[in-house]
Structure 1
Amino acid sequence: MTSPLPSPLPIDPVFQLVLEVPAHTPCPDLPRRLTALFQELAMEDPPRPVEEIEDQIWALWSSHEDRLAEETMAAAVEAMGSGSLKKAGPLLDHLVALYPDWPEAWNKRATLASIEKRDADSLLDIAQTLRLEPRHFGAIAGFGNICLRHGHLNEARAAFQIALGINPHMEDLRDMLENLSPHHLMLH
């Protein structure tokens, strides 16, 4: 018996989605307050601390009108934070099944898959996140990190630039982009 080959990474279709992010509109169910927050976040020098704006965006992404959904999400996030990945998986599977229009459920499941090095699964969930919430800089950065892990440097570079276009204050991405610049790569 030969072991089955790992499924090929669906980098290209997801990359296409990432490139089209600026042209896509978020799903109408998302809180309308996000629009103003993203405008504020895109400013070079916003009128209040960037962390505060980011925290509000993440809070809105993680919120749900169904309290049980929110509690399940909180339990999954807590499980991931404490390293109980086996506990987080079923919770997130449950959330995407029950609330397929909730981008953050897909994003958290993508994050879990990425932590578990199930990159093909992660990419599919990132794609679903971006179909619903094209402004999801976290999901786009996650895509870039997976590209990086597999040596797809151009795709990683493009993804980081697009994420920074939405949230120009992600300094770690800016550093990674600097390290990925062709000039910098030639020096190593």
Structure 2
Amino acid sequence: MGSPCTNLKAIVAAIATVFVSFLSAEVRAQDAATTNFSMLSEAELLARLEVSSPEDAAGLDRELQALWSKSGSAAMDLLLRRGRDAMARHEWSAALEHLTALTDHAPEFSEAWSERARAFFSIERFGPAVADLEQALALNPNDYNALFALGQVFEFFDDPVRAYAAYQRAKAIHPHHEEVTKALDRLSAEVDGTAL
């Protein structure tokens, strides 16, 4: 039998090994859960998003955005990427050219309409922005970012009740959307007591 000091060292080493193994397994499980988001269908991603933790919501949002950004055609995906790149550079004319070509060639691709609406809104062409958001939402009623954008348009035109309703619809789909939460908090006092 060893000395008490040797036994204590062995016990501490065993506890450390168990603790490290436990943490390792937990990290692997978390990684697997995150990785498995890519294996889920759109309906499964949306169902999980509705009841997710804030941490899981970020991964689910990324997966949904990636899924919604795929048109099914490499050429159309390239037009989307070029339109987004042009918007990032504030080259609105080029962005609208790419995104209009995209809506012409892929009219069933909701992300094309949503992105073009964003470009129109950025140059204060609100009528076309709203029309494109309506088309995007007709094609994908679960697009919480399009609902948020619609709320922003309503808010810009001093229609807090309709803005609040759009934000509530977005929040029902994505409860952890930070910008939607801020918008609802900002407008809640203004629409409090008003029937939506």
Q: Which interval holds the TM-score relative to the shorter structure?
A: 0.7 to 0.9
* 2:57 equivalent among 50, 57, 61: 50
1:164 maps onto 2:171 in alignment: yes
Normalized per residue, the structure richer in helix is: 2
In structure 2, how many angstroms separate the alpha carbons of the residues matched to 1:76 and 1:99? 14
1:35 aligns with 2:43: yes
Match of 1:177 in 2: 184
The offset of 1:176, in angstroms, is 1.6
User: Residues 142, 184 of structure 1: CA spacing in aligned structure 2 closer, same or farther, 3 A cutoff?
Assistant: closer
* Structure-2 separation of matches of 1:180 and 1:150: 14
Residue 19 of structure 2 corresponds to none
TM-score (norm 1): 0.77
Question: Sequence identity of aligned pairs in percent?
Answer: 25
Can you list the C-alpha shifts for 1:83-114, whole angstroms capped at 9, x where unaligned? 11111111000000111100000000011111
Residues 13-68 of structure 1: per-residue CA shift (max 9 Å, x gap):
xxxxxxxxxxxxxxxxxxx811111011101427x632211111011111122111
The structure whose Rg is larger is 2
- Equivalent residue letter for 1:41: L
Change (3 A) 1:183 1:142: closer
1:69 paired with 2:76, answer: yes
Is the Cα contact below 8 Å between 1:113 and 1:119 reproduced in 2?
yes
User: For residue 116 of structure 2, what is the aligned residue in structure 1?
Assistant: 109
Equivalent-residue separation in structure 2 for 1:124 and 1:183 (angstroms): 27
Deviation at 1:115, TM superposition (A): 0.8
- By relative contact order (CA 8 Å, sep 6+), the higher-ranking structure is 1
- State the distance in 2 between where 1:154 and 1:41 align: 26
Looking at structure 1, the residues matched to 141 and 156 of structure 2 have their Cα atoms a distance apart, in angstroms, of 23
Q: Give 1:91's match in structure 2, choosing from 78, 93, 98.
A: 98
Contact 1:178 1:184 (8 Å CA) reproduced: no
Cα distance between partner residues in 1 of 2:123 and 2:190: 33
Q: Does 2:147 correspond to 1:140?
A: yes
Whether contact under 8 Å (2:147, 2:166) holds in the other structure is yes
Instruction: Supply the AA of the counterpart residue of 1:125.
Output: D
AA at the equivalent of 1:59: A
Quote the RMSD (CA, aligned, Å).
1.7
Partner of 2:107: 100
Which of these residues, 125, 136, 151, is aligned with residue 118 of structure 1?
A: 125
Moved over 3 A (4+): none
1:81, 1:113 → 2: CA distance?
Answer: 14
Distance in 2 separating the partners of 1:91 and 1:49 = 33
**Residues in 2 aligned to 1:126 and 1:184: alpha-carbon distance in whole angstroms:** 23
